[in-house]
């Protein structure tokens, strides 16, 4: 085996390992959020066109999907921990779906549209106010 073959083999193993990690991270995150809010809302929150699209991306461990879906869904998991800590987990799903006049949109819409972590942080602060009062 030449050094070039060895380098190619190492690169292939590294790429395969990265693919497995992405698949595992995307799949686990999607599965957790599915259990909290259901499949259609999870797909919407992730930014997928529909449930089938998210399922296919999860099965393929699509790196581009993971790059935009995982941060959004992790944020939902963060919110769920806060709702659960306040014995309000049952309110998470309706809170995400309902248009809030103070926000001008449903929190799910804000999560789906947010590419900027500061928008999610603003929403997280708003969720804290919702849970604990002003």
The tens place of each residue's pLDDT in the chain, 134 residues long, gives 555 555 565 555 544 444 545 557 888 999 999 999 999 999 999 999 999 998 888 887 777 778 888 899 999 999 999 999 999 999 999 999 999 999 999 999 999 998 888 889 999 999 999 999 85
Exposure letters 55-87 (e unless 16+ CB within 10 A, then b): eebbeebbeebbeebbbbbebbeebbebbeeee
Residue 31 is predicted with a pLDDT of 93
Give the DSSP H or E segment for 84. helix 63-85
Query: Dihedral sign, CA of 31, 37, 38, 41?
Result: negative
pTM: predicted TM-score of the whole model, two decimal places: 0.79
For 35-78, give the secondary structure using H, E and C: HHHCHHHHHHHHCCCCHHHHHHHHHHCCHHHHHHHHHHHHHHHH
Give the DSSP H or E segment for 113. helix 107-113
Residue 23 is predicted with a pLDDT of 57
Residue 114 is predicted with a pLDDT of 85
């Amino acid at each position: 085996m030449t050094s070039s073959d060895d380098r190619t083999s190492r690169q292939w193993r590294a790429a395969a390992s990265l693919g497995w990690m992405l698949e595992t991270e995307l799949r686990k995150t999607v599965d957790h959020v599915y259990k909290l809010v259901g499949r259609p809302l999870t797909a919407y929150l992730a930014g997928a066109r529909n449930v089938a699209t998210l399922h296919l991306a999860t099965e393929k461990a699509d790196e581009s999907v993971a790059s935009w879906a995982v941060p959004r869904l992790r944020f939902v998991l963060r919110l769920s921990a806060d709702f659960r800590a306040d014995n309000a987990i049952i309110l998470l799903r309706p809170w995400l779906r309902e248009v809030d006049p103070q926000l001008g949109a449903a929190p799910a819409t804000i999560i789906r549209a947010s590419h900027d972590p500061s928008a999610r942080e603003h929403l997280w602060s708003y969720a804290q106010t919702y849970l604990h009062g002003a």
